[in-house]
Copies of this chain bind each other. A is one copy, B any other.
Amino acid sequence: MDRNLTLLTDLYQLTMMNGYFLEGKKDQRVIFDVFFRQNELITYSVTAGLEQVIDYLKNLKFTQSDIEYLKGLNLFDKDFLKHLESFRFTGDVFAMPEGTVVFPGEPILSIRSNIIEAQLVETAILNILNHQTLIATKAAKVCYAAKGGSVLEFGLRRAQGPDAGFYGARASIIGGCSSTSNVLAGKSFGVKVSGTHAHSWVMNFPTELEAFRAYARIYPSAVLLLVDTYDTLNSGIPNAITVFKECRERGFEPVGIRLDSGDLAYLTKKARKMLDEAGFPNAKICASGDLDEYLITSLKNQGAKIDIWGVGTKLITSEDMPALGGVYKLSAVYENGKIIPKIKLSDNRVKITNPGFKTVYRIYDIDGMAQADLIALRGEVFDESKPLTIFHPVDTWKKMTFEPGSYKIRELVTTVMEDGELVNALPTLAEISEYAKREKESFWDEYKRLDRPQYYKVDLSDGLYELKKNMINKIRNGK
């Protein structure tokens, strides 16, 4: 990300920053948490975007032109504008690694810094994490539906602007896609790119057969032909088979065919039969066209013969839920070096925030399968040699007890930046994808199925539960 995104924020962040500056609070340390709320379409999410958040934080700098612009708004104190000249992000970042499976309410990232810095960065951090986590999650669902079939990300032309295509491709790979059509993403992220030809290629030759022959001549070892420009069954597939035979005579095995329209269940069953009978049982069938996890599931259930899924619009926009709704909430302030937890109440119980400086633990069984998560206060100790009971009425009354030797506990949140500096090198995208794969594999299918998945328990630790209860009671009685 080579652009200066320092002004990519909401105006009210700057008015509040100026306000805190003038109120003498500029050095007040605060903690803000990013988390997602419960949503009927989201049972779990796959985190993504941390690398871009770090890039953003490292590159924060108000240019002279930015400061001139802000001055022209006639809102800001001149000492505050002067202060912005040397502004840098000097805070701490705690976050789950990209590719982590996360549940509603769990802080996926926390910022600890002075209030001025914490306020500025809210909007861009939410923008980046909301977007990439949304698309990684959607990709995870699509790949889950494909049950091991390759899923290719094809959505650039329908993405909401260049970044949505570019970072959406990255997030899709984290979510489980095996390649993207997006060449810039391929180059920048070292991701496999895929694509062959469009209908216009076929239309630009006198006949479909000539178009296919030309393609096979140019790419003899990558012959994947789009067969639905004119008439899939009567022209496209027969012409493809003709060319496949010619390829084989020249010593090249064809890759397969792609269908982009029509009834994909019917057409791919017919196509499979035609290819098999012509002697090409290994030719792959790639399908595209308005696919998402639901249509893929339906096609699978219908016995459609599809090996490779090209998924575009509905993945790159997360069409059924195009925003994740992650929020950034104040959870503590420091006074004289001491943490003062903060809570935001609401008529709506699920909107009540979790106070304090927190982390998240995941409890696994001895086979390494995830059992439940605990949102806890920093400093609480969990000893695997002791029994662990989690039983707070957070979402359900489900009580879980883990005996020593039957469980392992792992902290999901790591320290990413300290005093504005990266603590450890960030993983590569390949490493993130591999980690995300293991993360997803550590959850039973019952938690991941699309239709009414099993409830995964996320509880509060004893310490956090008591703190929250006491704070609510105090406000209730005190006001």
Contacts and interface: CB of A to CB of B under 8 A. Distances in A.
Contacts of A122: 157
Interface residues of A, number: 100
A10 to B, nearest CB: 4
Interface string A198-240: 1111011000000000110011001000000110000000000
Interface in A394-423: none
A342 interface: yes
A14 B69 CA distance: 41
B313 A10 contact: no
Given A23-B214, A203-B342, A318-B322, A126 B158 contact: yes
A229 B126 CA distance: 20
Contact of A181 (B10, B22, B159): B10
Contact of A323 (B30, B75, B230, B317): B317
Given A7-B183, A12-B195, A162-B127, A204 B69 contact: no
A16 interface: yes
Interface stretch (A164-172, A378-386, A446-454, A464-472): A164-172
- Among A13, A197, A322, A347: residue with most chain B CB under 10 A: A322
Interface of A: 1-3, 5, 7-16, 18-20, 22-23, 25, 28, 30, 32, 66, 69-70, 73, 75, 115, 119, 122-124, 126-128, 130-132, 134-135, 154, 156-168, 181-184, 186-187, 193-201, 203-204, 214-215, 218-219, 222, 229-230, 261-262, 313, 316-319, 322-325, 328-330, 333, 342, 344-347, 479
A12 B181 contact: yes
- Among A28, A158, A342: residue with most chain B CB under 10 A: A158
- Among A165, A181, A183, A215: residue with most chain B CB under 10 A: A183
A165 B11 contact: no
Given A15-B219, A75-B222, A156 B8 contact: yes
B3 A183 contact: no
Contact of A183 (B9, B215, B325): B9
B158 A161 contact: no
B10 A157 contact: yes
A122 to B, nearest CB: 7
Contact of A322 (B32, B201, B317, B347): B317
Contacts of A325: 158, 313
Nearest to A119: B200
Contact of A130 (B32, B132, B157, B163): B157
B166 A164 contact: no
The 4 closest A-B pairs by CB, nearest first: A12-B195, A11-B195, A161-B163, A163-B163
A196 to B, nearest CB: 5
A159 B160 contact: yes
A268 B315 CA distance: 38
Contacts of A157: 10, 122-123, 126-127, 130, 328
A14 B163 contact: no
A178 to B, nearest CB: 14
